[in-house]
Homo-oligomer: A and B are copies of this chain.
Amino acid sequence: MIQVYTGNGKGKTTAAIGQAIRALGHNWKVLMIQFMKGDEYGEINTLKNISNITVKQFGLKTFVKKGEPKPEDIKLAREGWQLAKEAIAGRKYDMIILDELNCALDYGLLDIKEILPVLVSAPRDLEIIITGRYAPEELIKIADLVSEVKEIKHPLTKGVVNRIGIDY
């Protein structure tokens, strides 16, 4: 099945990680591919000590500029998607998380036309979890589960900066 976590609120990537933690408790094998992220998030430290989960990052440490991605941004996103395709076909994992795939699409690093056929023909017993703002309509249409995480309140809008342990 395909799960999508989108919306402008906090809790999309963490929901995917929590879902992985639940599945790992039942001995599932999990692959998490992070698009547009190259930084040491706290979760990376924790997850590397847990068996049966692999995390791979495909992003620079710098932010991608919307409308003006660097060739290296596009190259890394494509590498991430190549790994995703192989993993979906390879049947080695029970759950594959494509973290911030929606953002990579929104920023023009990847094309939904390339993504959709792969998702549509993925094995039904493989759990694919896709996160990120601005999930495209075509993706919502084919997904089995979609949650929109809406920001009701966020300290960032009150001027609080990103916090270690919480935002990264």
Q: Which residues of A contact B (CB under 8 A)?
A: 1, 3, 5, 7, 9-19, 21-26, 28, 41-47, 49-50, 94-95, 127, 140, 143-155, 160, 164-166, 168
Contact = CB atoms under 8 A, between A and B. Distances in A.
**Secondary structure call for the A interface:** mixed
A6 to B, nearest CB: 8
A1 B155 contact: yes
Nearest to A15: B11
Given A50-B50, A94-B165, A164-B26, A153 B144 contact: yes
A21 B19 contact: no
A152 B148 contact: yes
Contact of A23 (B19, B151, B165): B165
A41 B18 CA distance: 12
Quick one: copies of this chain in the complex? Answer: 2
A148 B168 CA distance: 21
19 contacts: A9-B148, A11-B12, A11-B18, A11-B147, A14-B18, A15-B15, A15-B18, A18-B18, A19-B166, A21-B46, A22-B42, A25-B45, A25-B46, A25-B47, A46-B50, A94-B165, A140-B152, A145-B155, A148-B152
A67 to B, nearest CB: 27
Given A26-B45, A140-B152, A9 B165 contact: no
B26 A19 contact: no
Given A9-B149, A11-B19, A21-B47, 15 more contacts: A10-B145, A10-B147, A14-B17, A14-B22, A15-B15, A18-B19, A21-B42, A24-B42, A25-B41, A25-B43, A94-B165, A140-B152, A144-B153, A145-B155, A146-B153
